[in-house]
Structure 1
Amino acid sequence: MTTFAAAERARLADLLLEKGPHAPTLCGGWSTRDLAAHLWLRERRPDAFAALFIPPLYRHLDRLTAETTRRDYAEVVREWAAGPSALNPMRAADRHVNAAEHFIHLEDVRRGESSAGGSLPAPRSFSPDEEDALYRSLRRMAPLFLRKSAAPVVLQGPGRAPVTVTRGAVALRAPVTVTGEVGELLLWASGRDAVHVEIDGDASAAVRTAL
């Protein structure tokens, strides 16, 4: 059975090829070329992946990124679309590690035009199994994305138990409740604003960390 992470990888690869290397994304000024380079480096160069978290290696990451963005765009996308190699630890963890990554970045591309004044697309429709995968990702990633919030954050999707992120004395404050489809909640929690959600409470108390 194809996992949600694998299905989203294929969809994202197709969309990247369709849009070409110069399309806007929701990733802080990145073009589709920049995003493709990030995806490729994250899986194909462990040293680049480590550099995402180790400040002294940032210059090394910049060099690798520059090299990758100079390569043929379609080739980079197709190599990434093939997935991690058999010897790459990411292969075994793909369904857990990449479900959120691929979904979020697909929507970064799909909604990229909205950052340049275009209209915001409606949320995609998913099968029940895919919705379950998104909900698992939301439960797993929300505490990471919202860990710096100054109030409890309650994420409420239709027909789902709410996902509540809180800690310590923060629990005493009035909560911020965000309502929407599960995928929209995941996008919002990861720092995206081009989403279809409703927020009740002091939105400034919900501090989001972008993916």
Structure 2
Amino acid sequence: MSLAQRERRALVETMLEVGATAPTLCGTWTAHDLAAHLVVRERRPDASLGILVKPLAGYLDSVQDGIAQRPFTELAELVRTGPPWWSPLKPVDAVANLTEMFVHHEDLRRAQPGWEPRELADADQARLWKTLRTIARTAYRKAPVAVVLATPQGERITAHKADGPEVVLTAAPSELVLHAFGRDEVRIEASGSEADVRAVLASDRSV
């Protein structure tokens, strides 16, 4: 079973555990809203284009609002079963849904009081590190100084090149992936000048 599939199952388990009205790190979305988003993404390709194409965002919102009227347990089950056979995401589920399921699982976990980072297997951390290499430059493209991502074991990725000082963000790959996707509820160490670190942490990291 791929990491994406395991994160999908764990996400649904967490959804059902915390309940439909539980908050997430996705703005005002509840767990119910998050489930509706995932269902639209995997089962309504006509509407999911609005995630990337701004002129279609209104249509996406309308479809998602309609999906959100369905019972929470029904939506959770649709998320659990994954993209149907006809979905463009089905053949690439292990790749296309890896960060989607992992990040949204943590969006739900870390919006709850008393959260702690999970202990992930070395193989899973390695998979997330590999994924981080593909998104790092996009995520930190707006950083005002050079940015390097590093693991405690010494692996490094140059996320943003710039003349002058640099900021190094050190953490497990799982934490760095979350930070690259714009999440601030992470456990990372940042080195560099205080002003540069603040600027990098506050930068737009939308992927």
Scaled by the length of structure 2, the TM-score of the pair is 0.91
**Contact map agreement 2:20 2:72 (CA 8 A) in 1:** yes
Rounded to whole Å, the distance in 1 between the matches of 2:20 and 2:96 is: 25
Distance apart, 1:89 and its partner CA = 2.0
3-state secondary structure, aligned to 1:153: strand
Unmatched tracts of structure 2, length 5 or more: none
Residue 166 of structure 2 is matched in structure 1 by: 175
Residue 149 of structure 1 is matched in structure 2 by: 143
Please show how residues 154-169 of structure 1 align to structure 2 within 5 Å.
Answer: 154-167=148-161
3-state secondary structure, aligned to 1:133: helix
**Contact map agreement 2:125 2:172 (CA 8 A) in 1:** no
Residue 94 of structure 2 is matched in structure 1 by: 95
Please show how residues 8-87 of structure 1 align to structure 2 within 5 Å.
Answer: 8-87=7-86
Q: Deviations over 1:123-173 (max 9, x none)?
A: 111112211111112112222221221221111112252111124xxx212
Residue 110 of structure 1 is matched in structure 2 by: 109
Rounded to whole Å, the distance in 2 between the matches of 1:142 and 1:12 is: 24
Rounded to whole Å, the distance in 2 between the matches of 1:141 and 1:98 is: 14
Unmatched tracts of structure 1, length 5 or more: none
Aligned-residue identity in percent? 36
Residue 191 of structure 1 is matched in structure 2 by: 182
Aligned with 2:204 (options 182, 205, 208)? 208
Q: Deviations over 1:30-49 (max 9, x none)?
A: 11111111111111100121
Please, what is the CA RMSD of the aligned residues? 1.5
**Contact map agreement 1:176 1:205 (CA 8 A) in 2:** no
Scaled by the length of structure 1, the TM-score of the pair is 0.90
Rounded to whole Å, the distance in 2 between the matches of 1:110 and 1:89 is: 28
